């Protein structure tokens, strides 16, 4: 389970004195705890591994945006810190599909569920999220789905 892996890696990083890794794992756990509290308040179960992967993908995107802003603002040292955190978080994510793999997967799902037009876009996206959580960038998948459905 991903939570156990994070806890184990936290202990290893602590013992090894890896400050950057330790700090990043603590950031992940903090975000995870916030989401768990939010879920508990709504009467839901704690996050599943797929939901944790989605949370981590969101964290990567936030750091990519921050790194770009830091570079644009002339602060390369802060951009390097963000990129270091991205590398650590990415180690927990499964292999990300490239554009060709994603298009093939999208086309397969469209065919399989019999999607006929843009009205079926929600169904296609829901199925993609179920099957490829953590493996596909859904921000990039959405325009591809729209294009393949004739939009």
Please identify every stretch of the chain with a pLDDT value under 50, giving residue numbers as ranges. Answer: none
pLDDT of residue 132: 85
Which residue segments constitute the domains of the chain, with CATH numbers given?
2-90 (1.10.1510.10), 99-148 (1.10.10.410)
The pLDDT tens digits for 92-112 are: 988 888 888 988 999 999 899
- Specify the pTM: 0.73
Q: Which long-range contacts (CB under 8 A, 24 or more apart) does 58-63 make?
A: 59/27, 59/28, 59/31, 59/89, 60/86, 60/89, 60/90, 60/93, 61/139, 63/89
Helix (H, G, I), strand (E, B) or coil at 85: helix
């Amino acid at each position: 389970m991903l939570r156990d892996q994070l806890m184990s890696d936290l202990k290893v990083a602590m013992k090894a004195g890896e400050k950057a890794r330790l700090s990043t794992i603590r950031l992940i756990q903090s975000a995870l705890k916030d989401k768990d509290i939010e879920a508990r308040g709504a009467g839901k179960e704690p996050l599943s591994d797929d939901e944790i992967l989605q949370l981590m993908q969101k964290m990567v995107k936030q750091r990519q945006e921050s790194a770009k802003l830091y570079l644009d603002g002339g602060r390369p040292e802060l951009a390097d810190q963000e990129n270091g955190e991205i590398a650590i978080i990415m180690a927990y994510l499964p292999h990300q599909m490239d554009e060709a793999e994603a298009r093939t997967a999208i086309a397969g799902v469209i065919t399989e569920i019999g999607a006929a037009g843009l009205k079926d876009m929600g169904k296609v996206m829901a199925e993609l999220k179920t099957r490829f959580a953590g493996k596909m960038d859904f921000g990039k998948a959405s325009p591809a789905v729209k294009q393949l459905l004739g939009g």
